[in-house]
Structure 1
């Protein structure tokens, strides 16, 4: 049996449960912010929705989606040793909409997820959402999370979409410094660019298949922003994981960035973009035989396997079988790095 560590799995979070943790004086502000974010999302979708009920998935019905003890049992059934967990609620999009003190609301999300992972912190590793609307607070929160044993922090992919500066701006420098000092990795999970909702509204396929094929490619912007602005030159110790984009498109894109150095003025760079990518970045995938065939162009140590439990693309509960198929012609040493070793290094899992 192959040792498997999933670098991308998900846990359901009830807003009602979070609300119970929020001070009563902030209940109205909490409700209003959630409603305001829901209205933004509704307007972006233009009335169209994609329900997970459109897929008949056993994983969504498994109690491990919500309960940590059942989650460990679900992992055992799948032959998975450990998971990096992402909250299904993109809370950091709503913190800036809170009219009042958002910090106790942020702490409520963090505390809930910390308790979930506490049932077995060696197997359950949360990627925490840290608000970046106040950098001094964000620095303090990362330091607090580090003391609690946190391994990953999930940041917005496109800060400009929530009215914040892009990541090359110097006001973020204290935050990048604390990530370097603590060794906590930064995650950019697959998400939707606002302009992609125009595709969603026009997509004639029943489950918006055209629309859902686009977000992975949109993460190329985030990769380019980190590299071409020279931010990784200034902070060489950052670890940045791009979660759920797959692999197949990445080698050509990274090669294209290298070619730009021949014709573009990029004063913040001393290395080729591909060298920053290899040094600082990683990508996760579930089932991507084409991408694995390009693994040496990406970098064996820059690839992380995942189950994406319980989403439609999940390999659960057949991950061992799926891995055996994908890695049938790949040397064991490379398989072991991709399926567990790289996650052990980046997240301190075992």
Structure 2
């Protein structure tokens, strides 16, 4: 039997020690097949897990007592104090990896030798090069549950420290990595400080609200924050996540059910409050992105809110248009894109003005990540729409100098 020299022998099973380049070997082949070198591709949602570098993060924690407590907890237990563990979503996080069969939350432990740059920068570059990505926006996996921390000051201190670490250790060293500083909504003053301090810093392309939280986004205490973000010209992103701790989710007996609904549920609540309370009218220049909720829920919510609004307009007095019209001006990331029924997908993309409002996202390195081929393989999209979704929409939204002009 002869062996084709073009076929690479891969390990029989991927685990946290597998080299990213081996794990993404098929992605690299697809990149060549699709000719991705001819596209400008921005990945608007990828993840790096900060827990392996939490000691570095704690160097930026300002409160000396909380920093000392955090270091002691890290030394004794190996856990991140003030960050709900396991996070996000309580026991839901431990179910992501399917009992070890699919790497997800486990730290990547592959060998990185002979590299002077930060280990995680090298891992990010390996993934970007294999997938065919020019620019990658990075979110912190475990911190997506930080909004459920029992201590508001703990959330604020951890958020500020992580933001500084990402900007100074990552973005300043790798121009292809972009970042949205985490906003601790339960500490509006700290959130406002973060906007004012980090807007304009290397790699900062927007600001992040983690959607696993019970803070009502329309509360008056956040209005100065939104005004400050609007002044920067940068977008505000709401990143969804899984939780088994919500009372509704606790009724479910399978993680597949939680995963299907919790990612969508939290962003549906925040978006509904955002629109019905007239925030698009109060902050018309503030661009909003809804991250990692898929797309199938958006047309449903458009119809549902329009239907209710037309019967009870007095309860949303600030609105001058239908809720769906505001939603069509918002931005949505593609992952995880529900594409099993192309007729429904086509109707969904038409409803959200995908050609100008949809942003490609991989969600690497999570188990359900999507390659650029998930966009290029859609038959009903023309060439211009595919280029916009893969990178040009994000280039305009984030004002990326690397992005070519859409025309």
Q: TM-score range by the shorter chain?
A: 0.7 to 0.9
Report if aligned partners of 1:9, 1:86 keep a CA contact under 8 Å in 2: yes
Report if aligned partners of 2:82, 2:149 keep a CA contact under 8 Å in 1: no
Q: What residue in structure 1 maps to residue 307 of structure 2?
A: 259
Give the Cα separation in 2 of the matches to 1:158 and 1:51: 16
Q: What residue in structure 2 maps to residue 117 of structure 1?
A: 171
Q: What residue in structure 1 maps to residue 363 of structure 2?
A: 308
The counterpart of 2:95, out of the listed 50, 54, 60, is 50
What SS is found at the alignment partner of 2:178?
Answer: strand
Q: What residue in structure 1 maps to residue 26 of structure 2?
A: none
Give the Cα separation in 1 of the matches to 2:136 and 2:382: 24
Which consecutive unaligned segments of at least 5 residues does structure 2 have? 1-35, 113-117
Deviations 1:275-299 (A, max 9, x none): 1112244343244334641211111
Q: Shift in Å at residue 188 of structure 1?
A: 1.1
Give the Cα separation in 2 of the matches to 1:119 and 1:43: 32
The counterpart of 1:216, out of the listed 248, 251, 263, is 263
Q: What residue in structure 2 maps to residue 230 of structure 1?
A: 278
The counterpart of 1:277, out of the listed 316, 327, 335, is 327
Map 1:69-80 to 2 at 5 A. 69-80=122-133
Deviations 1:145-182 (A, max 9, x none): 1131421211132543xxx4x12122211101011100
Map 1:1-350 to 2 at 5 A. 1=36, 2-14=39-51, 15-22=54-61, 25-30=65-70, 31=73, 34-35=80-81, 37-38=83-84, 45=91, 49-52=94-97, 54-57=100-103, 60=108, 67-90=120-143, 92-93=146-147, 97=151, 105-114=158-167, 115-121=169-175, 123-149=176-202, 150-157=204-211, 159-160=213-214, 164=215, 166-192=216-242, 194-200=246-252, 202-203=253-254, 208-218=255-265, 219-264=267-312, 265=314, 266-289=316-339, 290=342, 292-294=345-347, 295-300=349-354, 301-315=356-370, 319-325=371-377, 327-349=378-400, 350=403
Greater helix percent: which structure?
A: 1
Report if aligned partners of 2:239, 2:291 keep a CA contact under 8 Å in 1: yes
Q: Shift in Å at residue 18 of structure 1?
A: 2.1
Q: Shift in Å at residue 192 of structure 1?
A: 3.4
Which consecutive unaligned segments of at least 5 residues does structure 1 have? none
What SS is found at the alignment partner of 1:125?
Answer: strand
Residues 154 and 103 of structure 1, relative CA distance in 2, 3 Å threshold: closer
Residues 298 and 61 of structure 1, relative CA distance in 2, 3 Å threshold: farther
Deviations 1:110-152 (A, max 9, x none): 122112122222x211121122233233222101111314212
Give the Cα separation in 1 of the matches to 2:87 and 2:381: 42
Q: Shift in Å at residue 54 of structure 1?
A: 3.0
Residues 62 and 276 of structure 1, relative CA distance in 2, 3 Å threshold: farther
What SS is found at the alignment partner of 1:262?
Answer: helix
User: CA RMSD of the aligned region, Å?
Assistant: 3.2
Q: Shift in Å at residue 306 of structure 1?
A: 0.8
Q: Shift in Å at residue 19 of structure 1?
A: 2.9
Deviations 1:234-269 (A, max 9, x none): 111111111111112211221221122211132121
Residues 286 and 17 of structure 1, relative CA distance in 2, 3 Å threshold: same
Give the Cα separation in 1 of the matches to 2:259 and 2:180: 23
What SS is found at the alignment partner of 2:165?
Answer: helix
